[in-house]
Every structure is written in C-alpha cells, then in structure tokens.
Amino acid sequence: MLKSTTSLTGVIDSRFAFSSRLRAFAADTSGNMSYLAIVGSLVMMVFGGVGIDMMHAELKRIKVQNTLDRAVLAAANIENTIAPQQVVEEYFAAMGLGEALTSIDVEQSMTAKRVSAIGQSAISSDFMSLIGVDTLDAFGRATAEHATANIEISMVLDVSGSMGWNSKIINMRNAARSFVDIMMPEDGQALTTISIVPYNATVNLGATTASYFTLDDLHDYSNCVTFDQSDFDQAAISPSEELTRLAHFDLNSTNVNSTEIASPWCRTGDTSAVIAHRSDPATLKAHIDSLNAGGNTAIDLGMKWGAALLDPAARPAIAAMSDDGLVDPDFAVRPASYADPESSKYVVIMTDGENTTQYDLKPQHKYGYSDVWIDERGNSDPSDDRFSLRVVDNTGSDNDTYFWQRYEGYSSSYRYRGTPDGGSNARRMTNAELFARFGTRAVGSKMYQRPYYDGYVTYSTYSDIYYAYEATVGADPADNRLESICDAAKAQGVVVFAIGFEAPQRGLDAMRNCASSPAHFFDVNGADLEETFASIANTITQLRLTQ
C-alpha cells in the first residue's frame, strides 16, 4: 500500500509540472505578431508589387516613345523617298511593337514634310490586379518636321588672292553651288533667300547693289565702303545712311602711260560683287561661277555686310530691289524681324587665310584737288592727253610754275613754264580722278620724280605722293572688329557657321571665335569643303522633333 501511494504522488507531480509549463508558454508573448503588423506587411507587399508593375509600364512607355521619335525623324527627312507611313511602320515592326502603333499623320509639300505618330500599348499587371487594375497603358506621341521655309542666308565667301592657289576657288565654287542646290531644289518652291558676299581686302557692293544704299559722292569709279570700329558693334546698315566710300586707287602699279588703273584696290562694276536676297538658283549659281580670286583678306568687312543683309534695317533696300525685279515680290519684306518666330537667319562664312592690312588713300590725297592739270586736247581719246604739275604756287598771283611732263627729257627751260600745258584748255584734276588713272607709284614717277631731281619739290613731297596710301586697319584690329560683328549677329539670334579652308592657325582661331558654337566650326581641306557646305545646308533645313 505504501508503494502505491508513492507512485500516485509522482504522477500527480508530473502532471502539475506539465500544466505549469503550458501556462508559462501561454503567458510568454515573445515572437508573437500583432494584427497591425500582419496587415502592414500585406500592404507593403501590395505597394511593392504596384511599383514593379509601374516600372514595367514605364519601361514599355520609354520603348514606345523612343521608337516614335526615331521613326518620325526618319520619315520626315525630305531626302527620304520612302513613304512616311511605311517608314514609321517598319520602325515599329523592327522593335516588335507593330500592334502599338495607333495612328500616323503626314503633311507634305515640295519643300517641307511633317510627320506625327501615336503609339499605345497595354501591359497586364501582376500585382495591381489585386486592387482591381488589370492593365496599364504605355502611351507616346511624336512629331518631326523638315522644312526650308522662311530662311535667310548670307554666304560670306573668301575671294582673296590665295584662293587662286591649288584650285581652291574651284572647290569653293563647287561647294557653294551644291549648297544652293540643297537649299533650293529645282522641283520645289523657293522659300529661302540667299545673299552672296564675296570679300578680299574689301567688299565690292557692285554697281547694282550700291545703288540701293547711300554712298558718298567722292567718286563713282567703284563701290567699296569703309567703317569705324564702333560700326561693328551692331549688324545694321541703313540704306539711307551715308556711307564713307573707299578711295579708288592702285598701290602697286608703276605704269605711267595707263588710261585707268588695272588692279584697283576696290574692284569695279559687278566683279565679285554682292547680290542680296536672291531666290533663283540659276542666278545664284551663275554669280558663284563668276567669282575670281585676288587681293588681301578682310574677313571683318565680309562679315559686316553679311550680317547687315540679314538685319531688318536693310528692308527698304530689298523692297526697292523687288520693285526693280531683282528680288522676288514674295520676299520684298525681308529681312524679317529678328523676333519673327517663323523666320531663321544664318551666316555661312569661310576663309582660307587670316585678316591682313587694309588700306585707303591718305586724306590729303583722297579728297579735293590734286596739283596736276590735264589737257584732253579736245577729244575723248586719252592716249594723247597732256599733264603738268604745279610745282610753285605763288599765293595771290598767277605767276606760278608748272612742270610740263611731256618735256621731261628736254632742258629745264622747256620743262617748267608759267602756265599749265594746254593753257586755258587745261583743267585741274581731282585726287579721285588722278588716282583712278594712275597708280600711286606711277603718279610719283610720272609727275614728281623729275621735279624732285630738279629741286622743285622736296623728297618728303615726292615720297608722300609715291606712297599716297596708308594702312587704316591692321590684322589685330581687324580680328577685334570681326569678333565684335560676329557677337552682334549672334546676339540677335543669327546662327553662324564658320569654315577654315586650309587656313593658317590665326584664321582658324578667328573662324572658331565667330561660329555660334564649336559644333558650328569646321576645319576642312580640299574636296571636303563641298561635303561641309552640304552638311551645313542639311542642318539648316531643320530636321527636328517638335513634339
């Protein structure tokens, strides 16, 4: 009996210990999850899934948009002869997005093309369906246009002497003609005007263009203009503003028997002259073919006129040209306002050199009367003209002394007389007339050398007439003037493409500074010039995304 009692007690103790452990376990809250924690975890899982769904949708949208952008750019290219709809469809098919293309709209003329397209693709959601969203849309829209409308261009072309070396002028002509062909396709409507501004040491406005501006009446032998430094701070040249005419002279010729100077510093007539706002490709290309090389280099003067012909201040001149049949009536209101949102203005400037020294006659030899008299012998044949130089001017009397040039080889009693050769039939020549006939060195040799030897004129007088010209602008000031006018044009929104064509470093630096950006500057050689002009023309025709 005692043994049985002991066993029962052990069993009871064991059950009591197990029960205590159960109660202790039930009372222990470590590791338990609350209701809020469970709900929060579910919410986090849902939103994480939503983020994944939206990320997939955004990636799909980007793919659709990128495909749209590339497709409409290719389809809008005027040079692309494939139907625009086909181009867009093929782009989407190549990307496996054929079903995403929902619409294509095309507007096309001979000189412009506009292509719009819309893409939309639905993707199924994995997580967002838990909250009732079964699909997500990937939507895109793009529009591209390629047009040549409302464009004004100044082609500023170097025709200095070095352009005659190694067929450079031929390369330039070919490049400029190709540029015109791209800008003005034969089967299209001319919506572009091009001004051609050839330059060497000067810019010859030409007899035609000069007649629409106001040059002073110093002479009418040639039509080049001089400017002050301050004139390069702005592009505008008003047709009603009186412009200072460059003297007509030849600083190299020693021909004492000439009837007119052979190589004037400013070219005559319409030789390598400026033409403004033409829209006829045949006229432009014929003028380009007529350009020839010679003279020093004044890039600043070329850029000044190129910018001026894009400035609205020139509009009265262009309107007058239109009235006279030189400019198409559709373009009589050009240059357009800088603020016109439908117009764009460009300068394409090139050089194969660098700025050099510019010259003009010294003021005392540029204006007024010379001391040379001419007897024209009562006829229009200049070959028998006679000349005399007043070497002694007795103030207040008629007892002056004249050197009769035709008696240079005779004794002094024949060479020097009290009246000019021809007497009352002789007339006094203006400086402009004298230097239009003889080079400055020829005047010195023909008229002043013998009187100098004979003691009638001083060496300083003889030397002053022999070198009757002076440097007016050096290379450094010309570079500064070029930089100023380039900045002035760019400040008005004019886009400047600048080309250094086998140019020295200084010329390349000047072109780089003038260009609108590094991407608008080109350093080219040989036949690459034509490719460069074509590339610029294709850029100007404005293939771009607009939406």
Q: What is the pLDDT of residue 98?
A: 84
Domain shared by 278 and 160, yes or no = yes
CB neighbour list of residue 170: distance below 8 Å, 6 or more residues apart: none
Residue, of 163 and 121, whose pLDDT is higher: 163
* Residue 304, domain member (yes or no): yes
Q: Is the pLDDT of residue 325 over 60?
A: yes
Q: Is the pLDDT of residue 46 over 60?
A: no
DSSP designation for 212: T
Domain shared by 278 and 341, yes or no = yes
Q: What is the pLDDT of residue 3?
A: 44
* Residue 344, domain member (yes or no): yes
Q: What is the pLDDT of residue 44?
A: 57
pLDDT digits (tens, 9 = 90+) for 171-183: 999 999 999 999 9
Most confident of 131-135, 184-188, 227-231: 227-231
* Residue 105, domain member (yes or no): yes
Q: What is the pLDDT of residue 62?
A: 73
Most confident of 46-50, 58-62, 68-72, 251-255: 251-255
The count of structural domains within the chain is 3
Domain shared by 124 and 160, yes or no = no
79, 359, 367, 404 from 431: Cα distances, Å:
58, 16, 6, 18
Q: What is the mean pLDDT of residues 333-353?
A: 96
Domain shared by 426 and 437, yes or no = yes
Q: What are the structure tokens assigned to 286, written together? A: 């014929």
Domain shared by 453 and 534, yes or no = no
Q: Of 436, 467, 498, which residue constitutes the final position of a domain?
A: 467
Q: What is the mean pLDDT of residues 183-201?
A: 86
Q: Which of 500, 541, 516, 490 is nearest to 235 (CA)?
A: 490
Q: Of 434, 467, 500, which residue constitutes the final position of a domain?
A: 467
Q: What is the pLDDT of residue 125?
A: 67
Q: Which of 534, 478, 156 is nearest to 309 (CA)?
A: 156
12 pLDDT tier (thresholds 50, 70, 90): very low
Please report the beta strands in 412-506, taking only residues with DSSP state E, as ranges in sequence order.
Answer: 416-417, 427-430, 469-473, 495-501
Q: Is the pLDDT of residue 40 over 80?
A: no
Domain shared by 132 and 212, yes or no = no
Domain shared by 338 and 253, yes or no = yes
pLDDT digits (tens, 9 = 90+) for 135-155: 767 688 888 777 656 899 999
Q: What is the pLDDT of residue 8?
A: 46
Q: Is the pLDDT of residue 63 over 90?
A: no
Q: What is the pLDDT of residue 4?
A: 46
11 pLDDT tier (thresholds 50, 70, 90): very low
* Residue 2, domain member (yes or no): no
The vertex-431 CA angle with 429 and 436, nearest 5°, equals 90
Q: Of 105, 128, 147, which residue constitutes the final position of a domain?
A: 147
CB neighbour list of residue 10: distance below 8 Å, 6 or more residues apart: none
* Residue 73, domain member (yes or no): yes
Q: What is the pLDDT of residue 465?
A: 97
Q: What is the mean pLDDT of residues 350-363?
A: 98
DSSP designation for 142: E
Q: Is the pLDDT of residue 56 over 60?
A: yes
Burial 347-365 (b: 16+ CB within 10 A, else e): bbbbbbbbbbebbbbbeeb
Q: Which segment of 44-58, 109-123, 205-219, 276-290 scores lowest on mean pLDDT?
A: 44-58
Q: Which segment of 111-115, 193-197, 390-394, 467-471 scores lowest on mean pLDDT?
A: 111-115
* Residue 29, domain member (yes or no): no
* Residue 3, domain member (yes or no): no
Q: Is the pLDDT of residue 7 over 80?
A: no
Q: What is the mean pLDDT of residues 229-256?
A: 97
CB neighbour list of residue 406: distance below 8 Å, 6 or more residues apart: 386, 387, 421
99 pLDDT tier (thresholds 50, 70, 90): confident
Domain shared by 353 and 497, yes or no = yes
Q: Which range marks the domain in which residue 78 is found?
A: 35-147
Domain shared by 143 and 157, yes or no = no
Given 3-state DSSP classes, what are the helix, strand and coil percentages for the chain, each rounded to the nearest 5? 45, 20, 35
Domain shared by 143 and 154, yes or no = no
Domain shared by 200 and 298, yes or no = yes
DSSP designation for 3: H
What value does the mean pLDDT of the chain take?
A: 88
Q: What is the pLDDT of residue 324?
A: 98
Tell me the pTM: 0.76
Q: What is the pLDDT of residue 160?
A: 97
CATH number at residue 356: 3.40.50.410
Q: Is the pLDDT of residue 34 over 80?
A: no
Domain shared by 307 and 159, yes or no = yes
Task: Tell me how crowded residue 46 is: count the other CB atoms within 10 A of its CB.
Answer: 14
* Residue 241, domain member (yes or no): yes
pLDDT digits (tens, 9 = 90+) for 466-495: 999 999 999 999 999 999 999 999 999 999
Q: What is the pLDDT of residue 413?
A: 86
Q: Is the pLDDT of residue 132 over 50?
A: yes
Task: Tell me how crowded residue 389 is: count the other CB atoms within 10 A of its CB.
Answer: 25
Round to whole Å and give the CA distance between 81 and 474. Answer: 52
